[in-house]
Amino acid sequence: MAEVADITDVLLKSTNGQKLATILNTPAVVKHFRYLLITDQPSERPESGPLPANQRERHLLLSLSVPEPNEAKDTVALVKEVFALVDLIDQKPGFKVETYKKLKKTRVDLDVELAKEAEKEKRDEAEEKRAAEKRKAAEERLARLSAAEQKKYEERERKKAAKKAQGKMIRK
């Protein structure tokens, strides 16, 4: 994840970023600061495959622990600098070409993984549906049989299950 380091360097070396770094080194702020996250990924992993680029929303998440009322003013400067960071990000900071390439590769890899997961999920659902239909058809066939034939069928199935269980015991 070298691209994260590149992005952090560019953002923190800007004027606003230097102010943000200074504020984050203040002990009064550090005790309330949890994380600062910049992303365009959804908060929950999409189940239906990757999101198209036009549906992705950018997010900047700042997490702080709730300060005591008399310490609330300590975090005001941090919040102001985070808003300045939003403006900086919107101005398209000059990242290295390699950084953009790494980000794109990471995004493509993730999209491929999400697409595979979605495809596997669809296959599993289709398989479950086929199995349910097969069970239902077998139950309907059994229901159409006479009582004697049903008893005979159930006896055959019981013997088959016992034989299968016995085979498993021997293999262990």
What are the CA-CA distances from residue 16 to residues 20, 21, 54, 108, 112 (Å)?
6, 9, 29, 31, 36
CB–CB of 51/80 below 8 Å?
A: no
Is 12 inside any structural domain? yes
Please say if the pLDDT value at position 1 is more than 60.
no
Domain span at residue 87 reads 2-95
Is 13 inside any structural domain? yes
Is 147 inside any structural domain? no
How many Cβ atoms sit within 10 Å of the Cβ of residue 52? 8
- pLDDT tens digit string along 96-134? 888 888 888 988 898 899 889 889 999 999 999 999 999
| Average pLDDT taken over every residue of the chain | 84
Contacts of 124 (CB under 8 A, 6+ apart): none
- pLDDT tens digit string along 22-60? 888 889 999 999 998 888 777 888 777 787 777 788 888
What is the spatial distance between Cα 127 and Cα 121, in angstroms, rounded to a whole number?
10
8-16 average pLDDT score = 77
CB–CB of 46/91 below 8 Å?
A: no
Using a pLDDT cut of 70, give the percent of the chain over it. 95
Name the domain count of the chain: 1
